[in-house]
Amino acid sequence: MKHYLLIFVLSLLLIVSVIIGVASFKSVTKKVLPNGNGGTIAKTMEGNKIAGQKSFYFAYTKDDYQRALDGDKIIFLDFFANWCPFCRAEAPEIEAGFNNLDSDRLIGFRVNYNDSETDANEKALAEQYKITYQHTKVILVNGKEIYRSGDPWTREDFDTVINRILSEK
């Protein structure tokens, strides 16, 4: 009987530890982001950080997107569907691109599109930019669209497009 009680208590502790670990992993990521002009955006980003050391790639939230617009960042929008094989294949490529960027002037958002995780704000953003299918990438400078691609990207595609835009802006 003592063994069963010990196993039960240890199992309960393990479950609680896993729940706490998942909750802390998904907790709000707060970052002070450089604005690319030598200063910082004195706002916090609340979405989950997906990738990036200097340029960050976040799960989209309406408030974070507005903060990025207000902070004069170059904004990368990746319209992602969790059921899309192209989206799933290019996700690690885009993440690797953000992880290796040496600029702080870009911020990216993975925007859920037409999938089980899409919320009303993401749907409204897709409608605003007239997105018609997943794996579309949109890049904004000063709130204006300057680039759009519906093709699946490799890491090389990411590097080529992003570095060209960073060098021009």
Quick one: which of 87, 90, 103, 71 has its CA closest to 158?
Answer: 90
pTM for the whole thing?
0.74
pLDDT for the residue numbered 72: 79
pLDDT for the residue numbered 9: 56
Bridge partners (DSSP) of residue 139 are 76, 147
pLDDT for the residue numbered 37: 40
pLDDT for the residue numbered 5: 62
Residues whose CB is less than 8 angstroms from the CB of residue 133 and which lie 6 or more positions away in sequence, other chains included? 113, 150
pLDDT for the residue numbered 30: 44
Angle at 52 between CA 46 and CA 58, to 5 degrees: 30
Contact (CB, 8 A) for 165 and 147: yes
Domain boundaries, the chain: 1-27, 33-168
Going through 96-152 in order, the beta strands assigned E by DSSP cover 106-112, 136-141, 144-149
Distance CA(135)–CA(39), nearest Å, equals: 32
pLDDT for the residue numbered 16: 53
Q: Read off the DSSP letter of residue 117.
A: T
User: What is the three-class DSSP state of 113?
Assistant: coil
pLDDT for the residue numbered 10: 57
Digitized pLDDT (tens) for each residue of the chain, 169 residues in all: 666 665 665 565 556 555 655 444 443 444 444 444 433 443 467 778 999 989 999 999 999 999 999 987 899 999 999 999 999 999 999 999 999 998 999 999 999 998 888 999 999 999 999 999 999 999 999 999 999 999 999 999 999 999 999 998 7
Task: Return phi, psi of residue 57, to 5°.
Answer: -125, 115
pLDDT for the residue numbered 125: 92
pLDDT for the residue numbered 6: 58
Name the CATH code of domain 33-168 (choices 3.90.79.10, 3.20.20.70, 3.40.50.300, 3.40.30.10).
3.40.30.10
Distance CA(110)–CA(100), nearest Å, equals: 17
